[in-house]
Amino acid sequence: MIPPRLPLPLTRPFTTSPHSHKSPLFDISVTPYSPSPSQSPPKHLRLVIFGKPGSGKGTLSTRLTSLFPLQFLSTGDSLRRHISLRTPLGIHAEALVASGQFLPDRTMLQVVLSELDTLPSPNWVLDGFPRTVEQAKMLDRHLLHTRQPLTLVVHLDVPDETILSRIRDRWVHAPSGRVYNLGYNPPRVPGKDDHTGEGLQKRADDDPAVFGRRLQVYERETRPVLDYYLRAEGAEAGTRVVSLTGETSDEIWPGLEREVRALGWGEEREPPTATTTTTVATAKGTARQRVEEVWKAKDTKEDERRPAHDA
């Protein structure tokens, strides 16, 4: 038993080079968060960002937190930290992560809730959770119970070939989480972190064979999460669901920034335009239906193993 506290398509007008999140500087010009006197941001912004492994969730989340006053929680980073520290959770997770599998739903929920409870701000970006429909229902159940429903759900749609090429060249500095790519964002000294000089390493789940299994798991377990949010969304619930498509984070970023600003986080409130071709969900259910579905969801068995964890 793990202790509870353990922790569509884009046009392509943007030609800036891709970046990892090792640096807060980006080629795309952005306006720092600064609401006008007549425009107050929503009381809270709770954002879930999900997509295939290697789709750029971490990079885009880091851009958001560098521009807006948001906390970033990555379940992938949390699990890798536990594995590195050899905690009971890390030991339990290591073999599953290396083989491209998911941890049990309840275990992941414990990790997420324990870390959300420690964040210094109620405004956050959650990367890597939920990865199954059951996880989505359990997260909704908790957030609705605490009267803190999600504000925005963002799905990243990136071609498989693009992701595979990306992870083949990806190297990481494990202690800091800094990510390098030999193709477009290499370290200054081969194999060494720019800031500490320490060695870089490959992630265990970046092996092409493991990646193939992770994609299969994603299609089977995580893609239905988008359908859940599309079906469950209601205007009264206040949750917006969008899908952003592109081959690089630089292509996707303008649409993501615009979505957040449209919620009142900044002076710009213009809706998404054809330039970024954002797909926005149409509500198909009421908030009441969503709440009823969430509270009727059956608890997942403790030992049920959901197929993993991604970038």
**In a domain? residue 139:** yes
Residue 67, pLDDT > 90, answer: yes
What pLDDT, on a 0 to 100 scale, did the predictor assign at position 280?
A: 45
Tokens of residue 221, six digits = 């377990």
Which of the 8 DSSP states describes residue 185? B
| Per-residue pLDDT band at 8 (split at 50, 70, 90) | very low
Provide CB contacts within 8 A for 11, sequence distance 6+.
Answer: 274, 275, 276, 277
Residue % of the chain over a pLDDT of 70 = 69
- Please give the residue that has the higher pLDDT: either 149 or 307: 149
Is 266 within the bounds of a domain?
A: yes
Residue 227, classified by CB atoms within 10 Å of its CB into exposed (0-12), middle (13-18) or buried (19+), is exposed
Residue 74 lies inside a defined structural domain of this protein: yes
Question: For the residues 86-112, what does the mean pLDDT come to?
Answer: 83
For the chain, what is the domain count?
A: 1
Q: Mean pLDDT over all residues of the chain?
A: 74
Q: Whole-angstrom Cα distance, residue 275 to residue 265?
A: 21
Residues facing 35 on adjacent strands: none
* 125 three-state secondary structure: strand
Contact between 163 and 55 (Cβ < 8 Å): yes
Mean pLDDT of 216-231: 91
| Domain annotation covers residue 126 | yes
Segment 208-233 mean pLDDT = 87
Question: What pLDDT, on the 0 to 100 scale, is given for residue 40?
Answer: 52
Q: What are phi and psi of 127, to 5 degrees?
A: -115, 125
User: Residue 263 has what DSSP assignment?
Assistant: T
Cα separation, 200 vs 230, whole angstroms: 40
Positive or negative torsion for Cα 289, 263, 61, 6? negative
Looking at the predicted structure, is the pLDDT value of residue 25 above 70?
Answer: no
Higher-pLDDT residue of 28 and 65 is 65
Q: 71 - beta bridge partners?
A: 124
Tens of pLDDT along 243-288? 999 998 999 999 999 999 998 886 433 333 333 334 444 333 433 3
**Residue 36 above 50 pLDDT?**
no
Does residue 19 fall inside a structural domain?
no
Matching residue, tokens 């710009």: 268
Domain span at 251: 46-169+204-296
Instruction: Output the CA torsion 161→272→253→28 (10° steps).
Output: 130
Any residues with CB less than 8 A from the CB of 153 and at least 6 apart, and which?
47, 48, 50, 229, 233, 239, 240, 241, 242
Q: Give the tens place of pLDDT for each residue, 101-139.
A: 778 888 888 888 888 888 888 899 999 899 999 999 999
Which pLDDT band holds residue 145 (cuts at 50, 70, 90)? confident
Cα→Cα distances 258→30, 47, 203, 226, 296, Å: 10, 14, 32, 20, 35
Phi-psi region of 157 (alpha: psi -120 to 50; beta: other; left: phi over 0): beta
pLDDT over threshold 90, residue 37: no
- Selected residue with higher pLDDT from 291 and 38: 38
- Out of 6-15, 42-51, 182-191, give the one with best mean pLDDT: 182-191
CATH label of the domain that carries residue 237: 3.40.50.300
Lowest mean pLDDT among 17-26, 89-98, 251-260: 17-26
Q: Looking at the domain assignment, is residue 252 inside a domain?
A: yes
- Asked if pLDDT for residue 26 goes beyond 60, the answer is no
- Asked whether residue 282 is domain-assigned, the answer is yes
Where is average pLDDT lowest: 10-14, 35-39, 154-158? 10-14
Please provide residue 111's backbone torsions phi and psi, each rounded to the nearest 5 degrees.
-60, -50
Q: Is 143 exposed, middle or buried (0-12, 13-18, 19+ CB in 10 A)?
A: middle
- Whether the CB-CB separation of 99 and 304 falls below 8 Å is answered with no
**Is residue 98 assigned to a domain?**
yes
Q: CA 52, 53, 58 angle in degrees (round to 5)?
A: 100
* Residue range 156-209, pLDDT digits in tens: 999 998 998 888 899 999 888 788 989 878 999 999 999 999 999 998 778 888
Band (95; pLDDT cuts 50, 70, 90): confident
